[in-house]
Structures are given as structure tokens and as C-alpha cells.
Amino acid sequence: MKESVCNFGPGKVLSGILTTPDADVAKTDAPTALILNAGIVHRIGPFRLHVDIARQMARLGYSTLRMDLSGLGESGPRSGRLQSSDRAELDVADAINFLKRETNNDQVVLMGLCSGAFNAHKVAAKDSRVVGAVFLDGIVFRTMGYYLRHRLGRFLKPRFWRNAVKRRLSDLNQSNSASPAISESEFFADPIPQDQVIRDLNSMMERGVQMLFLYTDGYDDICGRIQFKEMFGLQPDQGQLQVEYYPKSEHTFRLTENRRTACTRITQWFQSRFTVPLAVVGD
């Protein structure tokens, strides 16, 4: 495989690492995976998750661009007064244009964790060049089922109470409490209403966009795979709309075992959805 630095966008202020497979395994007609920043973590991803995904993809014959959105990581700022999500849409469009010039293929599969998934959703809903998307702990809405399973369910678990007490004691013993984590609201300045998300997802389904949603227990607003149908009214399957819930994983896949599971799931999904011409992939 080969990894190279790419600069693109206005004044070439945007940057990323393009990972391409060896020629003997390369699937040249396949779309390129485009991985977006998770929060303010630069393009390597939390605990280097994005590097792991890109390299595993290359071993299977697929190319991946891990990019830094404007103002993040190694990318410079984009001029003009724009909301962060609008900026992200322009940045991704520039990345797709770059890939078109570089690979003569403008079909991409967006991937993102948390704010990355939020940005991926916004772009995927509008841009027909997006033929697939992996949403890691993406947009969620609390449902009645969530309150029953999560709130009541966890109150019945002794480990929940044990951890709550330990955390409390730990906080009390902490002489220098850390500055609070940067709020996700900074990246979700304009939350998308639930009915809009539903319309977007249905539109993507009609367009034949392949989708994989991975949720973790560490994401506080979702509890169980079943919540997907409760939120969006769509029934996940083993085809175009795949949804998984990892009850043992933290939001950012802190443990190597969790990261390995997610990487394998994502790359196998990619392989299964994009090994045949896209025209016949849609279910």
C-alpha cells in the first residue's frame, strides 16, 4: 500500500492522507472511502482508528482519503463567515472534486464518528456522488423505548450503581479537576430535526446509498439496535441498511479489541457492498 499527502481546496489549504492499495489487489472501479474528523481529533482519528481503517481497506484493495476539515488537524482555515457544518460540506465537496481529478472516480463512501457522522449525513443527503456511508455513533434521538431500556434498565444493574459511587468518590478525591471536555454542541451548532433526518434517510435509500450505522454503549443517547427503527421508522437489514450496536464499546473505541471489531465490520461491509458494479448493488 502507499500513503501520500494530498492538498486540495481553495489555496490548497485542505489536507489529507490518501492510502491506496498495491496494484495487484486494487479494485480500481470501487468508490473511495472518505473519512471525516471526529470532533477536533485530527485525521488519524481517536486512538488512531482512521489509520487502522484506511490500512485495512487498502489491504482489501480500496483507497481511502483521511482528511482534515478546514481549521482542524493539518488543514488551514477556510476564509469567509460560515457555520462549521456549512464549512464541512464545502470541504467534503472539495475533497470529492480532488478525488475525481486524482482517481477519475468521484464516487465516495463517507465515514465519520460523532460530529464526523453528523457532517457525513449532511453531505450524503445532498450529494449524489456519495454512494455509501458509515455512521459511527451518528445522529440519534431519544425514544420512549430508550427511556425504558436505558434509564430503567441501567438502574437495575448493580454495576451501574457501583460505577456511579466510584466515579463520585473519584471526583471528590481529585484535587485538580480537569477542564471540561469540549462540548459536542460546538460541532452540532445546527441540529437537524428528526423529521428532516427521516426524510434524508428515505431519500438516501431511494438513491441506493449503502449505509452502515454502528452505535456504541458509550454514546449516551442510544440504547440497543432496536432504537434505530424507533427513531427513523426504518427496519435495518443485512443489505442496504445495516445497523449494529456494540454494548461493550466506548464512544471512541478506546480499547483495541473494540477498534478491531469496528474496523473488521466496516471493511467487510465495504467489501460486501462494493465488490460488484454499483448498478446491481442496491437491494
Partner 1 sequence: MQHFFGHPDSQLFGVYHPARQSTKLRRGVVICPPVGQEYIRSHWSLRLIARQLARKGIAVFRFDYLGIGDSSGSFGDVESTEIWRQNLHQAIERLKELAELDSVMLLGHRLGGLFASEVAMQREDVHLLILWEPTLEGQAYLRASRKLHQKMLDLWVCKMKTANDEQYEELLGFLWRRSLIQELEHRTFSLPTLDLPHLLITDDQALLNSSSCVPGIRKSIHELRPSQWFDLSALETANLNPETTRIIVQNADEMFGRIEKLQQRSGQSVVSI
Tell the residue number behind the cell numbers 421508522, with chain if given.
233
Q: Which is nearer to partner 1, 58 or 96 (CB)?
A: 58
Q: Which amino acid is at 99?
A: L
Our CB check for partner 1 shows the closer of 30 and 69 to be 69
C-alpha distances in Å from residue 178, one per residue of 82, 208, 252: 31, 45, 19
- Smallest distance from the beta carbon of 117 to partner 1, in angstroms? 17
We find the least distance from the C-beta atom of residue 128 to partner 1, in angstroms, to be 31
Which is closer to partner 1, CB of 163 or CB of 202?
Answer: 163
Give the contacts of 28 (CB within 8 A, at least 6 positions apart): 105
Instruction: Supply the minimum distance, in Å, between the C-beta of residue 279 and partner 1.
Output: 36
Based on CB atoms, which residue is closest to partner 1, 146 or 232? Answer: 146
Spatial separation of the C-alpha atoms in residues 77 and 191, rounded to whole Å: 23
Work out how close the CB of 61 gets to partner 1 at its nearest, in angstroms, rounded to a whole number. 19
Contacts of 87 (CB under 8 A, 6+ apart): 69, 70, 71, 78
Q: How far is the CB of 64 from partner 1 (least distance, A)?
A: 13
With CA atoms as reference, report the closest residue to 21 among 58, 52, 51, 56: 58
Give the separation between CA 55 and CA 188, rounded to whole angstroms.
Answer: 29
Alpha-helical regions (H) of 26-83: 49-59
Q: Residue 76 or 208: which CB sits closer to partner 1?
A: 76
- Where along the sequence are the contacts to partner 1 (CB under 8 A)? 3-5, 7, 15, 17, 40-44, 46-48, 51, 73-74, 159, 163, 166-167, 170, 174, 176-179, 181-182, 217-218, 247-248, 250, 252, 254-257
